[in-house]
Amino acid sequence: MPDVRPVRRGGARLVRLMLGIAVTLSCVSYCIDVQDRARAGEPPYRWRTDVATVEGVSYTAKTAFTRGQTVLLKLYRTGDPTLLAQRTFTEHGVALRWSQDGWLIYDTSDDSYLGGEIQLPPTRLDNLLAKLP
């Protein structure tokens, strides 16, 4: 019976190499996204502010372009500098909409798990994601 251990070792090395490349590319992509979010609102782009009261609580949403057609949305409780939620999305010419049943709708074409909307008040997951760089 032939010895298959060298083939298994070679296959394992290939899997580790491919996994390493995938992780590295993901990290590079994330770092580029972090830099874009850090530069949001710099000239020639400006922050746009939208304030609304939903269920008796006043919220402030700030939007600014980061690059190309990508928009950064930051949600705060009015008068409080603590970031509650943050999203990036592609501009489709849709303005922010505040629903009275507790949602901020920012992208009606988004079919990801985030769904193009933020529940008000934001969930713990939104708060956690807003704290990441």
Of 84, 120, 115, 89, whose CA–CA distance to 103 is shortest? Answer: 120
**How many domains does the structure of the chain reveal?**
1
69 domain residue, yes or no: yes
127 domain residue, yes or no: yes
Containing domain of residue 95, as a range? 48-131
**DSSP readout, 6-64?**
HHHHHHHHHHHHHHHHHHHHHHHHHHHHHHHHHTTT-TT---EEEEEEETTEEEEEEEE
11 domain residue, yes or no: no
pLDDT at 112 over 70: no
2 domain residue, yes or no: no
Q: What gap in Å lies between CA 99 and CA 103, rounded to an integer? A: 5
118 domain residue, yes or no: yes
Is 73 in contact with 62 (CB distance < 8 Å)? yes
Q: Span 15-24, mean pLDDT?
A: 93
Q: Span 30-57, mean pLDDT?
A: 80
14 domain residue, yes or no: no
- Model-level pTM greater than 0.85? no
The predicted structure's pLDDT at residue 54: 85
53 domain residue, yes or no: yes
User: E strands of 55-116, at which residues?
Assistant: 57-67, 70-77, 83-90, 97-99, 103-105
The predicted structure's pLDDT at residue 35: 78
108 domain residue, yes or no: yes
Going from the C-alpha of 122 to that of each of 1, 60, 85, the distances in angstroms are 62, 13, 7
